[in-house]
Chains A and B, each alone.
Chain A
Amino acid sequence: MNPVIRAQGLSRRYGSTVALDAVNFEIPAGRIVGLIGPNGAGKTTALKAILGLGPFTGQLEVLGLDPRRQRAELMQQVSFIADVAVLPRWLKVRQALEITAGLHPRFDRERAEAFLANTEIKHNSRIGALSKGMVTQLHLALVMAIDARLLVLDEPTLGLDIIYRKSFYDALLNDYFDGERTILLTTHQVEEVEHILTDLMFISHGRIVLDESMDALGEKYLEVAVRPDQAERARALGPLSERGTLGRQQFIFEGRGRDELAALGEVRVPGVADLFVAKVRRTAP
């Protein structure tokens, strides 16, 4: 089966700044991919290229289409939430449903209504009068009612209370994701999405520095809690990173066998946030 997204030599520069530096990646169908990177790493630039919102050089195919030339066609199959604040504030909730139904042939209004029925959002409210959490719920209701093959989320829970953040991802996973659709999301709150992702991509300074499935991650990257007297032995194995916590030195290794490391101390799969820091710090110029 063809990948949902295939990028080859994908580049974009803003003046003398290279935002994306000849990036290659493929995202197959049915995955939930987290694109993680510090501010200015190129996340949003990559998403914009995929959504046909910005120019780029190199090759990029999304669902077999060219986002530059076939944007309107592509949007039949791709949904995105760019930022929670972008729903037009002057629309009423009812009008938002009507207009989306009038513009999107794959929008199922009943599905959106059913989702809204579980919230406190009223049809006659103006969107500008809703709380930020409610606007996000509404946007999610609109997007989840669209029968799309790819959903792109750029910092969807930015500025939301923890309760809304949690219910946002629960709804996404339980009511939307069906194993055939593909979700690509970026976020700062790595810990929140860690458990729902199937794939992880790290991006730093316009380059992809890690691109693994979550399953493979545990085989490739291991974290060992080493007693201080063993630290020199651990350093000799070339760790990605080292940090001290609670009388132990935590080392993250790439491509070392579990048995080899077990001699040094307790071995486990590193948290995404720690791995991210290790990887990105290492690749920083």
Chain B
Amino acid sequence: MRQMLTLVKRELIEHRSSWVVTTVFGGLFVLAALLAVFGLVRVGVFGEPMNVVEFADSPERFQLREGLHLGLLPIAAVLNMVMTFVVIFYFLDALYTERKDRSILFWKSLPVSDLKVVASKYLTGIVAIPLVTVVVFLATVVLVVLITGIGLWFAGGVGDVLAGGPGAIAQATLMLMYALAVQALWFAPIDGWLLLVSAFAKRAVLAWAVVPPALAVAAERLLFGTRHFLDALVYRIRGVWELAFDGRRQNVIVYHGDEVLESLPQFADLLTPGRLFASPSLWLGIVVGVLLLACAVWLRRWRDEA
């Protein structure tokens, strides 16, 4: 356990972008909130863009509590997207840079098995970096809610944001954590492939990651005139959202006149983990992922660095 934590710590020191990039994006949201409060930018959530003072006086502020739930989710989505790219490049680098700078010979002088090292790199990508992202998200939304909430309070005595903040933050955080967990499982074959390429390629890791699948798609088309592999790839990239979330409930606020009849908090209905776990695609993907990771372990063990 101590070894595993040390190994993950090594990864976070070696690949600083794994947490720096998401932190920078979180900072940008906080900055945007500050600018909005001081009237320097205009934010349009519903309808016309307006600054905070105008918003405090507008009739739309009554929908604020409900709107807050929606306002935090885009922040989560952006941070999640940024993190996804960060993790892709992290995996491509993880077993490559240590070979390139030959520091692998130092790591191999320590009594840690290659299985453990590769596992630590995989866990860094699917657990440690997502956890960092959750922490960055929490810090970001707490600041954003405080800044806009205090701004609205001073502008027009509107306390809705401050009052509704904790609940909205908790809900958005849970949503983000669910999405991250679901992605970690669903993308296992992609992650395994990236780590395998990272262990294999002598140079140009990105090209090695992209070109062979592209060639396979082209070859299938030329030889058989079919596109099963392409469909499988597209499904692997996009299919998780259809399985893990209920896409039919997109009208999150239902009005009757000025009355809010229904709002987002039927939040649990949005998440469909049962459907995801019942899907053979998920388990097939995990099996493929484990096989690819096993190949990466084997390569790190036996590849001669001379």
Contact = CB atoms under 8 A, between A and B. Distances in A.
Interface stretch (A74-82, A109-117, A160-168, A169-177): A74-82
A55 B111 contact: no
Contacts of A55: 302, 304
B101 A89 contact: yes
Interface in A88-112: 88-91, 95, 98-100, 102-105
B280 to A, nearest CB: 36
A104 B2 contact: no
B108 interface: yes
Given A48-B304, A48-B306, A87-B106, A95 B13 contact: yes
Interface string B112-123: 110010000000
B221 interface: no
A75 B103 CA distance: 16
B279 interface: no
B304 A79 contact: no
A107 to B, nearest CB: 9
Contacts of A85: 102
Nearest to A154: B105
A132 interface: no
Contacts of A269: none
A8 B102 CA distance: 30
Interface string A180-198: 0000000000000000000
A72 B102 contact: no
B3 interface: yes
B58 interface: no
Instruction: Place the interface of chain B in its size category.
Output: 20 to 34
A54 B305 CA distance: 9
Interface string A208-225: 000000000000000000
Contacts of B304: 48, 53-55
A13 to B, nearest CB: 12
Contacts of B102: 83, 85-86
A103 B113 contact: no
Counting chain B CB atoms within 10 Å of each CB, which of A73, A76, A82, A95 scores highest? Answer: A82
Contacts of A99: 6, 9-10
Given A48-B304, A85-B102, A86-B105, A72 B2 contact: no
A86 B291 CA distance: 30
Contacts of B5: 102
Contacts, number: 79
Contacts of B112: 72, 75, 103
A80 B6 contact: no
A103 B111 contact: yes
Given A55-B302, A102-B2, A102-B3, A88 B101 contact: yes
A3 B171 CA distance: 64
Nearest to A82: B105
Interface string B271-306: 000000000000000000000000000000110111
Contacts of B6: 98-99, 102-103
Nearest to A128: B101
A71 interface: yes
A70 B111 CA distance: 10
A241 interface: no
Counting chain B CB atoms within 10 Å of each CB, which of A72, A83, A105 scores highest? Answer: A72
A71 B301 CA distance: 9
Contacts of B302: 54-55
27 contacts: A53-B305, A54-B302, A54-B306, A55-B304, A72-B111, A75-B111, A76-B111, A83-B102, A85-B102, A86-B103, A86-B106, A88-B98, A88-B107, A89-B101, A90-B13, A91-B14, A95-B13, A99-B6, A99-B10, A102-B3, A102-B6, A103-B6, A103-B7, A103-B110, A104-B110, A139-B106, A143-B109
Interface of A: 44, 48, 51, 53-55, 71-76, 79-83, 85-91, 95, 98-100, 102-105, 139, 143
Closest 5 CB pairs of A and B: A102-B6, A75-B111, A82-B105, A88-B103, A72-B113
